């Protein structure tokens, strides 16, 4: 390890905001520094509480995450926020929202916010988000909030990086269905019914609880339902309490070590996939890929020959 890298790692461990921001950029740009840095930092990870927050667009996730961050800051705990939007390109919305949110916490060194968006047709976003979570863990953040729009499999992969997953629902037609659509019921450790000052909230919560009554427990944990009005700060204390209870429950679980190994096995497979696909991405552009798919669709080329062409270029 060079002295520069050692210094950089030390600055990150001390929580230096610029050093952290530079490291996130290195992760996103997949520079050779990034891996060396993460290797140096890895022994200092494993302390932070990683919380994943997901839900359909419009459920108020960002506001909820901000309020939760305020809650932890009031307890003098440091917070890292990783906001992931797999559906939008790396311009516009995500970055704009980022800056607006940063202003709300301006001057507070105890909170670090970063948005990440799509990484192109070959994916890799989950890996970048996972690396960033490790980075913030090593940087001493007590809680890391990973926020993602829950609409597909990519998002599910991202929340699986967390120890504890919160699914945000909202009373009312569209959202209700949206949330059922994406397989979110399966991954929730805690449910939040946000905007619960809306009409029909009681009925919605009742329906949700009825469904949950017949969902089997997982290792003795039954997902609780927390009612919030994030814009008013209502229910945030209770949510933080449930997160702590969840963490406590599994910290003392008899199968804790098996859970950890399974977690890292999935992590290694994802990283392996990302590394292999990185090699592909440097050799074939998306338009070339589209052209190949088009030739296969019209039976001008078989899919095995198309993939062999790609492998040959490696």
Positions in the binding site for a second copy (CB under 8 A): 35, 38-39, 42-43, 45-46, 121-122, 152-153, 156, 173-174, 177, 180-186, 211, 214-215, 257, 260-265, 267-269, 271-273, 275-277, 280, 289-290, 292-294, 296-297, 299, 302-307, 310-311
Contact 20, 135 (CB under 8 A): yes
- At closest approach, how far in Å is the CB of 42 from a second copy? 4
- At closest approach, how far in Å is the CB of 22 from a second copy? 19
276 phi and psi, to 5 degrees?
-65, -40
Cβ-based nearer residue to a second copy, 231 or 255: 255
- At closest approach, how far in Å is the CB of 35 from a second copy? 5
Cβ-based nearer residue to a second copy, 17 or 306: 306
Cβ-based nearer residue to a second copy, 96 or 262: 262
177 phi and psi, to 5 degrees?
-70, -45
CA 148 from centre of chain: 6
Cβ-based nearer residue to a second copy, 35 or 238: 35
Q: Which two tokens stand for residue 79?
A: 């917070």
- At closest approach, how far in Å is the CB of 19 from a second copy? 19
- At closest approach, how far in Å is the CB of 270 from a second copy? 9
Cβ-based nearer residue to a second copy, 106 or 173: 173
Q: Distances from the Cα of 270 to the Cαs of 30, 47, 55, 166, in angstroms?
A: 15, 22, 23, 22
CB atoms within 10 A of CB 306: 17
**Cα–Cα dist 161/43, whole Å:** 18
Cβ-based nearer residue to a second copy, 244 or 264: 264
**Cα–Cα dist 47/37, whole Å:** 18
Contact 276, 310 (CB under 8 A): no
Cβ-based nearer residue to a second copy, 182 or 229: 182
Q: Distances from the Cα of 231 to the Cαs of 3, 82, 102, 173, in angstroms?
A: 46, 20, 17, 20
Cβ-based nearer residue to a second copy, 96 or 268: 268
- At closest approach, how far in Å is the CB of 75 from a second copy? 27
- At closest approach, how far in Å is the CB of 162 from a second copy? 16
Cα pseudo-dihedral 132, 133, 137, 138, rounded to 10: -30
Cβ-based nearer residue to a second copy, 17 or 271: 271
**Cα–Cα dist 266/126, whole Å:** 12
- At closest approach, how far in Å is the CB of 18 from a second copy? 24
Contact 68, 60 (CB under 8 A): no
- At closest approach, how far in Å is the CB of 58 from a second copy? 14
Strand order in the sheet with 190-193: 111-117, 79-85, 143-149, 49-55, 164-169, 190-193, 225-227
């Amino acid at each position: 390890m060079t002295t520069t890298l050692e210094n950089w790692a030390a600055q990150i461990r001390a929580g230096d905001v610029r050093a952290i921001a530079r490291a996130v950029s290195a992760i996103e740009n997949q520079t050779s520094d990034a891996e060396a840095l993460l290797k140096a930092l890895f022994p200092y990870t494993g302390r932070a509480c990683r919380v994943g927050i997901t839900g359909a667009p419009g459920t108020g996730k960002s506001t909820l995450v901000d309020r939760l961050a305020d809650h932890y800051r009031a307890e003098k705990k440091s917070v890292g926020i990783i906001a992931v939007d797999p559906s939008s390109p790396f311009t516009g919305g995500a970055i704009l929202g980022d800056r607006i949110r940063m202003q709300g916490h301006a001057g507070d060194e105890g909170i670090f916010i970063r948005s990440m968006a799509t990484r192109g047709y070959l994916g890799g976003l989950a890996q970048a988000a996972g690396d960033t979570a490790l980075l913030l863990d090593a940087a001493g953040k007590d809680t890391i909030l990973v926020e993602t729009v829950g609409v597909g499999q990519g998002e599910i992969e991202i929340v699986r990086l967390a120890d504890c997953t919160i699914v945000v629902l909202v009373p009312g037609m569209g959202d209700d269905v949206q949330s059922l659509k994406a397989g979110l019921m399966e991954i929730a450790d805690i449910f939040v019914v946000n905007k619960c000052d809306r009409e029909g909230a009681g009925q919605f919560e009742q329906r949700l609880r009825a469904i949950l009554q017949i969902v089997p427990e997982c290792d003795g944990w039954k997902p609780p339902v927390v009612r919030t009005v994030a814009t008013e700060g209502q229910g945030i204390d209770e949510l933080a309490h449930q997160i702590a209870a969840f963490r406590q429950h599994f910290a003392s679980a008899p199968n804790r070590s098996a859970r950890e190994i399974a977690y890292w096995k999935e992590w290694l497979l994802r990283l392996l996939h990302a590394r292999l696909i990185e090699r592909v991405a440097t050799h074939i552009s998306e338009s070339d890929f589209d052209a190949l798919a088009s030739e296969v669709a019209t039976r001008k080329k078989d899919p095995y020959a198309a993939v062999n062409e790609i492998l040959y270029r490696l």
